[in-house]
Structure 1
Amino acid sequence: MLDDFLVRAALAGLGLALAAGPLGCFVVWRRMAFFGDATAHAAILGVALSLAFAASIFAGTLGAALLMALLVSTLAGRGWAVDTTLGVLAHSALALGLIAISFVHGVRVDLEAYLFGDILAVSKSDLVVIWSGAALVAVLIGLRWSALLTATLSEDLAQASGVSPGRERLVLTLALAVVVAVAIKVVGALLIAAMLIIPAAAARGLARTPEAMAVGAMGVAAISALGGLGASLQFDTPAGPSIVAVAAGIFAVSAVASALRRAG
């Protein structure tokens, strides 16, 4: 069955949905959209380093994303303006990554695939990496769910409850780096943040509990992945942007439905 590239692409999209759904909820709740962008942009630098040293792309993107996430967290903790810091680091990392790739010789580089994803080219080994990373993130968030919610609601409340806000930020930082590393093959560095934010935002308008929102975000991400893949095949459009476009359409419908429910 896995010899069919469409089956592998669909499984890759579902693996991404498993991780991006619940993690995206915390990105939305904590207003970490720019944080996700900076981490994703750093992945391009990780790709360049991986190609230069003939290392695993997953290892390179994971290392670069984790380093960027830890750097941003450290600077923000020392009083740096978060939005300015994220803007500088995100665009600097992307620019340095693109420049570094141009110096890699003897290796065929499909830059567009790393920027916008190439889900149709996912291999069996890529599936193992994607699902292993997605399972790690899902288990990590599941085990830390209550503590993460408490720290997200109020750091003072978390400390009073014996929960370390710093530790929970580190958990989210690790989870975000892993999602970036596994998602770059599916939607690319420029669209990873969209798959974290849009499904969660679509689910928020209709969910009544945090758990329902997390499950809803996974559902929206899964439908977006499969729907975008189908649209890409039907209309011959890029797969990564098509996935995000379907997610945006679901968000629009969700926003209208939420507004009608409040009006009623």
Structure 2
Amino acid sequence: MLDDFFVRALFAGIGMAAVAGPLGCFIVWRRLAYYGDTLAHAALLGVALAFLLEINVTLAVFAVALFVSLALLALERRAGLSSDALLGILSHSALALGLVVISTMAWLRVDLMGLLFGDILSVSRIDVALIWIGGAAVLAVLALIWRPLFAATVSPELAEAEGMNVTKANFIFMVLMAVVIAIAMKVVGVLLITAMLVIPAATARRFATGPEQMAILAAIFGVVSVCLGLGASRLWDPQSGPAIVVAALCLFVLSLSPLARLVDRRRTARANDAREEGFRP
């Protein structure tokens, strides 16, 4: 029989992976991995402010991540710097500010390893419910904005020409990212959140023949990574958060194997045949 804490960890990890996968596809398509890192580092500042102001940690992390996203939009218009330079400034500044704020609270005893690398085995029933409810809301909103957001990813100019509100879709995407960062922090930690957004999506890209299929496969690979990582943690006792990311990395490496490439070619050939059938009179 599995222990209660392990079952809670499993449900929390599956809920997080199911949400991170589809959102991670847009991170990969838009080449925004550094943006994910920036929000993840901002999460530590949110945790520090939560302890300082004695407010809910998840709410504080969400607020700080959203503030950083809006700050990036504002600075892109006024600072005259490239996006990667601005992301570097915001990312490292938020991480440093978080550490400074924590260090000034001498009375506070914080598990920095848990914050940085997650502590999924300590999640409560409330945490699991928050992950699943928040994740379901994120997926529902993502489904509503999928078309304009994907169109803006492919060509913002063409999306605007077709009457789509690109600015609104991008803003909602940033809000969804802030929500995912907030609910995923306890599962894999500040430093590993981006890995769970990027690696399963990158693995899914090797096999998918369309954007929707890639989103579904990314969620599946994320869930498999969680199951393998927690299983390894139970058997050999490594830290759970890093074990989950290592499992995701192993799946990505396997996707590069000759057998996986053969499967990829066959799937691509079948997809091309299906497209040709669709164009035949």
What amino acid sits opposite 1:147 in the alignment? P
1:204 and 2:218 correspond: no
Alpha-carbon distance in structure 2 between the residues aligned to 1:232 and 1:72: 37
Alpha-carbon distance in structure 2 between the residues aligned to 1:27 and 1:83: 14
1:48–1:104 Cα contact (<8 Å) kept: no
- Per the alignment, do residues 7 and 105 of structure 1 end up closer, same or farther by CA in structure 2, a change over 3 Å counting? same
Counterpart of 2:48 in structure 1 is: 48
What amino acid sits opposite 1:64 in the alignment? V
3-state SS of 1:80 partner: coil
Counterpart of 2:123 in structure 1 is: 122
Counterpart of 2:192 in structure 1 is: 191
2:207–2:264 Cα contact (<8 Å) kept: no
Alpha-carbon distance in structure 1 between the residues aligned to 2:49 and 2:264: 50
> Which digits, 9 at most, give the CA deviation of each residue in 1:74-133, with x for residues without a partner?
222444211111112101111110111112243331111111000000011111221122
Counterpart of 1:221 in structure 2 is: 222
2:203–2:251 Cα contact (<8 Å) kept: yes
TM-score, length basis structure 2: 0.90
What amino acid sits opposite 1:156 in the alignment? E
3-state SS of 1:242 partner: helix
Count of equivalent residues? 264
1:236 and 2:237 correspond: yes
List gaps (5 residues or longer) in structure 1. none
List gaps (5 residues or longer) in structure 2. 267-281
The 5 A counterparts of 1:240-259 are 240-256=241-257, 257-259=259-261
1:12 and 2:12 correspond: yes
Counterpart of 2:275 in structure 1 is: none
Counterpart of 2:269 in structure 1 is: none
Runs of 4+ in structure 1 deviating by more than 4 angstroms, as ranges, are 261-264
TM-score, length basis structure 1: 0.95
Pairwise CA RMSD: 1.8
> Which digits, 9 at most, give the CA deviation of each residue in 1:133-170, with x for residues without a partner?
21121111111111111111101111111112211110
3-state SS of 1:22 partner: helix
